[in-house]
C-alpha cells in the first residue's frame, strides 16, 4: 500500500515537473518530524491589558494613559494579568525627513520632549510604565499612512507636514521603525494596522484632497480574489523578522490588524502572536456577535503563542455599558472562553465599580489564561443558542458557556456528553459562585435575552485515559489545511451596516477561512459523518492537509478515519497517514461511501504526531472532506 502511494505521488510530482520544467517541488505534505508551530514573541497565554482606541480614538494623551496605568496598578488589575498599556492611532507628529526618524506629538505626550538630536523619544514614557510593573505597546501601519489619516480627518492629532513627513507608516522603514520602537524606545508590543495598503488608492478623493502618496491597494476588503494575499503576508513577515532582530530576548508581542482580510485567518498564526479575524468591533450587541463569530469557529488555529483576535473589548460602552451588565458580562465571558486577547477599551480613571468587577473576575480571567491554550469548541450551535466547552489544564475540569444570542428567553439543556464527560458533573457558576450538580443526564437553564452562564465543570472524562484531539486544540498545529482557494466564510453573523444605513445590499461574507479545519465539525460546518456514522468527537479537515499534535506523555494514538459524507468530491481516494517524530507509524486508504477505518499507532517516546490526509491520485479540485473520527491520544 505504501509503495502504491509513493508511486502515485511520484507520478504526480513527475507530471508537475514536466509541466514546469523546474526543480521538483518539495512534498508539501512531508512530515516535518517536529512541531513547527510559530513560537516567536511572548504570548504563551492571550495578551491582557488596555488600549486607548475604544476609550479615546485619536484623542489620546499622556495624562489619560498614565491615569489608566495607575488604575491598573492600584485596582489589582495588573496583578491579574492586565499588563500591556497600548497606545493606538494618534500619537505621531511626523517622520523627520532628514533621517526618517519618527517624531512623537509631544504636545500630547510631554514626557517625550527630549533634548539633543532626537528631539522626541518615548523612552521616558516606557520607562515609567516599566517602573510600574507594566509593559508598553505602540501602534503603526504596514503601509505609508495610517487609518486616522483616512477616517478621522477632523482629528487634531493627525500627522503634520509635507507628504513625506506625513508618511508615518512602516512602508520603506520597517527595520528603522521597529528598531526605534523596540530597541531604542523600549516598547514591548506592537499593533500593525493595514489601512496604508487598503484605502490609499489614487482614485480616493481624500487621497487627492489631503495630498497623500497614493498606494495601489493590496487589500480589497470585499474581495479575496482582488487581494494580493502573498504580498500582504510578505509585508507582515518582514515586520516579524525585524521584531525578532530588534528583540534578542524575544520579549515582544506582534498584533496583526488586517481585519480578517487577505486570508489572515489562515496564516496569522505563522507570522504574528494575534491577528484580527474581522473588521472593527463597535459597542453594539449585533456587531459583537459578528466579530465573535469570526473567531469562534477557529479553535484549531489558536494556541500558546498565537491567538485569534476578534478585536478589543468594548465593555463599558453602548450595549455593554454599566446599564447593560448582562451584555457586558456576556461579551467579556465570550472573549475569555475563546482565548481572545483581553484588552480593555475604557477610560479606567472613571470606571464604575460594576465594570471593574467584570474585568477583575478572577475565575473568568483564569479560563482565558489557562496554560493549555485550548480555545473553547462549539458543543451546540444555532443562531439563537450556543454552547462552548473549553478544556482546562487542571485535570478533569472544563469551562462551559451557555449563550442566549436571541431577543427572547431561551431554555438551554446541558448534558455530560457535551462536556465529553460521563455521569454526574459538578458545576460552579463563575459569576454567582453558586455550585450545583448536573445529574440524571441533563440540566436545563433558562437564560434571559443576551444572557450567558459560565460554569467550571468537574466530572469523569469520557476518555478516562486520554484526550480527544478536539478537546485539545491548543496542542494542534494546522500545518496545512488543504484549502486551495480561499473562500469567504458565510457563517459569521452579519449585522446591519454599522457604518451607514440600509442603502446598499449589506455586509457580505468576506473573511477567508471557509473550509478550514474544525474541531467536532466538518470544514463546511456539518456533523462529522462517515458512511452514515456520526462522530461527536473528531477533526474535520480537507484532504491534502497535515496536522501536528503535541503528544508527549501519551502512548497511543487512534482514530476512525474516512471520507466524510458531506464531501463534494465523491471520487478521489484518500491516504491517511500517522507519523511519530517523522516516522510513518500507520496508514490506510479510504474512499467515499466506505465505513470508517480504525487507524492506530503506538507512540514510544514520540513528541509530535503528524496526521496527513493525502488525496491519492487527484482527478478533481472539488473539496475532498475527511474525518478523523474520535481521534484521540491515550495514555
Helix (H, G, I), strand (E, B) or coil at 3: helix
Nearest one of 131, 70, 57, 71 to 359, comparing CA atoms? 71
Say whether residue 336 binds ligand GLA (CB under 6 A): no
Query: Which of 55, 66, 108, 147 lies at the binding interface for ligand GLA (CB under 6 A)?
Result: 147
Nearest to 631, CA basis, from 473, 490, 512, 484: 473
Distance (Å, whole) CA 333 – CA 292: 11
Q: Please count the residues of the chain.
A: 635
Q: What's the closest the beta carbon of residue 143 comes to ligand GLA, in angstroms? A: 12
- Residue 525: CB partners within 8 Å, gap ≥ 6? 297, 381, 491, 518
Catalytic one among 61, 141, 177, 280? 280
Could you give the strand order of the β-sheet that contains 342-344, starting from the edge strand earlier in sequence? 307-309, 274-276, 253-256, 189-193, 135-141, 84-86, 48-51, 342-344
Residues 251-280 that bind ligand GLA (CB under 6 A): 257, 259, 280
* Rounded least distance, CB 75 to ligand GLA, Å: 24
- Look at residues 154, 283, 264 and name the one whose alpha carbon lies nearest to residue 198: 264
Question: What residues pair up with 308 in beta bridges, in sequence order?
Answer: 275
Q: How many residues bind ligand GLA (CB under 6 A)?
A: 9
Rounded CA-CA distance 33/359 in Å is 42
* Residue of 41, 47, 49, 53 interacting with ligand GLA (CB under 6 A): 53
Q: Which residue has the cell 467550571?
A: 456
Residue 311 C-beta: closest distance to ligand GLA, Å: 7
**H-helix or E-strand containing 193?**
strand 189-193
- Which of 53/332 has CB closer to ligand GLA? 53
Cβ neighbors of 159 (< 8 A, separation 6 or more) are 92, 93, 94, 95, 146, 149, 165, 166, 168
Q: Which of 145, 148, 282, 529 binds ligand GLA (CB under 6 A)?
A: 148
Smallest distance, ligand GLA to C-beta of residue 259, A? 6
- Write down the least CB distance from residue 257 to ligand GLA, Å: 5
Q: Which is nearer to ligand GLA, 193 or 370 (CB)?
A: 193
Name the strand (E) or helix (H) holding 174. helix 174-178
Cα 334 from Cα 332, distance rounded (Å) = 5
Shortest distance in whole angstroms from residue 292 CB to ligand GLA: 16
User: Residue 198 or 263: which CB sits closer to ligand GLA?
Assistant: 198
| DSSP codes of every residue in 423-466 | EEEEEEETTT--EEEE-TT-EEEEE-TT-EEEEEEEEEESSTTE
The helix (run of H) or strand (run of E) holding residue 166 is none
**Residue number with CB closer to ligand GLA (149 or 404):** 149
Side-chain-side CA neighbours of residue 432 (13 Å)? 10
Q: How far is the CB of 150 from ligand GLA (least distance, A)?
A: 8
Q: Which is nearer to ligand GLA, 168 or 479 (CB)?
A: 168
CA 123, CA 147: separation in Å to the nearest integer?
Answer: 25
Pick out residues in 88-107 that bind ligand GLA (CB under 6 A).
Answer: 88-89
H or E element in which residue 41 lies:
none
Q: Which helix (H) or strand (E) holds 264?
A: helix 264-271
For ligand GLA, the closer of residues 236 and 259 by Cβ is 259
C-beta of 146: minimal distance to ligand GLA in Å? 6
Three-state DSSP class for residue 474:
helix
Residue nearest to ligand GLA (CB): 147
**Cβ closer to ligand GLA: 263 or 278?**
278
Choice between 89 and 370, CB closer to ligand GLA: 89
Give the SS3 label for residue 634: strand
Per-residue binder mask for ligand GLA (CB under 6 A), 171-200, x = binder: ----------------------x-------
| Of 259 and 292, CB closest to ligand GLA | 259
CA distance 330 to 418: 20
- Cell readout for 359 is 474585568
Nearest distance, CB of residue 154 and ligand GLA, angstroms: 13
Nearest CB to ligand GLA, comparing residues 56 and 182: 56
Residues 33 and 217: their CA atoms lie apart, in Å, by 39
Cell of 349: 480613571
Shortest distance (Å) from residue 139 CB to ligand GLA: 6
Q: Which residue's CB is nearer to ligand GLA, number 316 or number 623? A: 316
324 CB-near residues (< 8 Å, 6+ apart): none
Planar angle of CA 39, 610, 528, nearest 5 degrees = 105
Describe the crossing of helices 285-296 and 325-337 by its angle, rounded to 10 degrees: 10
Q: How far is the CB of 299 from ligand GLA (least distance, A)?
A: 23
Phi-psi sector, 49: left (phi>0), alpha (psi -120 to 50), beta: left
Distance in angstroms (rounded) separating the CA atoms of residues 96 and 164: 9
Beta-carbon contacts of 110 under 8 Å, excluding residues fewer than 6 positions away, are 62
Q: Of 61, 89, 188, 193, which one is the catalytic site residue?
A: 193
Of the pair 83, 87, the CB lying nearest ligand GLA is at 87
To the query of whether residue 280 is one of the catalytic residues in this protein, the response is yes
Q: How far is CA 168 from CA 93, 102, 249, 250, in A?
A: 8, 7, 27, 25
Stretch 217-246 residues interacting with ligand GLA (CB under 6 A): none
User: What is the nearest approach in angstroms of ligand GLA to the Cβ of residue 289?
Assistant: 18
User: Would you tell me which residues interact with ligand GLA (CB under 6 A)?
Assistant: 53, 88-89, 147-148, 193, 257, 259, 280
Which amino acids are annotated catalytic?
Answer: 193, 280
Amino acid at each position: 500500500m505504501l509503495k502504491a502511494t509513493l508511486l502515485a505521488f511520484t507520478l504526480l510530482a513527475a507530471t508537475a515537473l514536466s509541466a514546469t520544467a523546474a526543480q521538483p517541488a518539495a512534498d508539501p505534505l512531508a512530515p516535518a518530524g517536529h512541531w513547527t508551530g510559530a513560537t516567536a514573541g511572548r504570548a504563551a497565554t492571550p495578551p491582557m491589558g488596555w488600549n486607548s482606541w475604544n476609550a479615546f480614538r485619536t484623542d489620546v494623551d499622556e495624562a489619560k494613559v498614565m491615569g489608566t496605568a495607575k488604575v491598573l496598578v492600584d485596582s489589582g488589575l495588573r496583578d491579574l494579568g492586565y499588563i500591556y498599556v497600548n497606545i493606538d492611532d494618534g500619537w505621531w507628529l511626523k517622520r523627520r525627513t532628514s533621517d526618517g526618524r519618527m517624531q512623537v506629538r509631544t504636545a500630547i505626550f510631554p514626557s517625550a520632549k527630549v533634548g539633543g538630536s532626537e528631539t522626541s523619544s518615548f523612552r521616558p514614557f516606557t520607562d515609567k510604565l516599566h517602573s510600574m510593573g507594566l509593559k508598553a505597546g505602540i501602534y503603526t501601519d504596514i503601509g505609508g499612512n495610517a487609518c486616522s489619516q483616512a477616517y478621522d480627518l477632523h482629528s487634531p492629532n493627525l500627522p503634520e507636514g509635507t507628504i513625506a513627513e506625513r508618511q508615518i507608516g512602516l512602508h520603506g522603514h520597517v527595520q528603522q521603525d521597529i528598531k526605534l520602537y523596540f530597541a531604542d524606545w523600549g516598547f514591548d508590543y506592537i499593533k500593525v494596522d493595514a489601512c496604508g495598503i487598503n484605502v490609499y488608492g489614487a482614485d480616493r478623493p481624500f487621497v487627492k484632497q489631503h495630498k497623500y502618496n497614493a498606494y495601489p491597494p493590496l487589500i480589497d476588503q470585499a474581495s479575496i480574489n482582488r487581494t494580493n494575499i502573498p504580498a500582504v503576508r510578505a509585508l507582515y513577515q518582514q515586520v516579524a523578522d525585524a521584531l525578532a532582530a530588534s528583540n534578542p530576548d524575544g520579549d515582544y508581542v506582534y498584533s496583526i490588524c488586517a481585519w480578517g482580510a487577505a486570508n489572515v485567518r489562515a496564516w496569522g498564526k505563522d507570522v504574528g502572536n494575534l491577528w484580527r479575524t474581522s473588521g472593527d468591533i463597535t459597542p453594539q450587541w449585533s456587531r459583537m456577535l459578528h466579530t465573535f463569530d469570526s473567531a469562534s469557529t477557529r479553535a484549531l488555529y489558536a494556541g500558546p503563542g498565537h491567538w485569534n483576535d476578534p478585536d478589543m473589548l468594548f465593555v463599558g460602552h453602548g450595549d455593554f455599558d454599566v446599564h447593560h451588565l448582562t451584555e457586558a458580562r456576556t461579551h467579556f465571558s465570550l472573549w475569555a472562553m475563546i482565548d481572545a486577547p483581553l484588552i480593555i477599551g475604557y477610560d479606567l480613571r472613571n470606571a464604575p465599580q460594576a465594570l471593574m468587577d467584570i474585568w477583575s473576575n478572577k475565575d473568568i480571567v483564569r479560563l482565558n489564561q489557562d496554560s493549555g491554550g485550548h480555545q473553547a469548541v462549539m458543543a451546540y450551535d444555532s443562531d439563537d443558542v450556543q454552547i462552548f466547552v473549553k478544556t482546562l489544564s487542571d485535570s478533569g475540569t472544563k469551562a462551559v458557556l451557555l449563550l442566549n444570542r436571541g431577543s427572547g428567553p431561551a431554555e438551554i439543556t446541558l448534558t455530560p456528553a457535551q462536556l465529553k464527560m460521563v455521569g454526574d458533573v459538578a458545576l460552579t457558576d463563575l459569576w454567582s459562585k453558586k455550585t450545583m450538580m448536573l445529574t440524571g443526564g441533563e440540566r436545563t437553564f433558562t437564560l434571559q435575552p443576551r444572557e450567558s452562564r459560565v460554569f467550571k465543570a468537574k466530572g469523569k472524562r469520557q476518555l478516562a485515559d486520554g484526550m480527544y484531539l478536539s478537546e485539545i486544540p491548543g496542542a494542534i498545529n494546522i500545518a496545512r489545511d488543504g484549502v486551495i482557494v480561499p473562500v469567504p466564510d458565510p457563517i459569521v453573523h452579519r449585522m446591519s451596516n454599522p457604518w451607514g444605513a440600509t442603502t446598499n445590499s449589506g455586509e457580505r461574507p468576506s473573511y477567508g477561512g471557509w473550509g478550514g479545519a474544525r474541531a467536532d465539525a466538518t470544514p463546511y460546518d456539518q456533523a462529522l459523518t462517515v458512511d452514515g456514522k456520526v462522530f461527536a468527537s473528531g477533526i474535520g479537515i480537507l484532504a491534502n492537509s497535515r496536522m501536528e499534535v503535541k503528544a508527549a506523555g501519551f502512548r497511543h494514538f487512534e482514530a476512525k478515519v474516512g471520507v466524510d459524507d458531506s464531501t463534494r468530491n465523491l471520487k478521489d481516494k484518500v491516504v491517511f497517514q500517522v507519523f511519530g517524530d517523522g516516522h510513518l507509524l500507520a496508514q490506510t486508504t479510504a474512499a467515499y461511501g466506505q465505513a470508517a477505518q480504525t487507524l492506530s499507532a503506538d507512540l514510544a517516546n514520540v513528541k509530535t504526531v503528524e496526521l496527513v490526509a493525502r488525496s491519492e491520485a487527484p482527478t478533481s479540485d472539488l473539496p475532498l472532506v475527511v474525518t478523523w473520527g474520535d481521534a484521540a491520544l491515550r495514555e
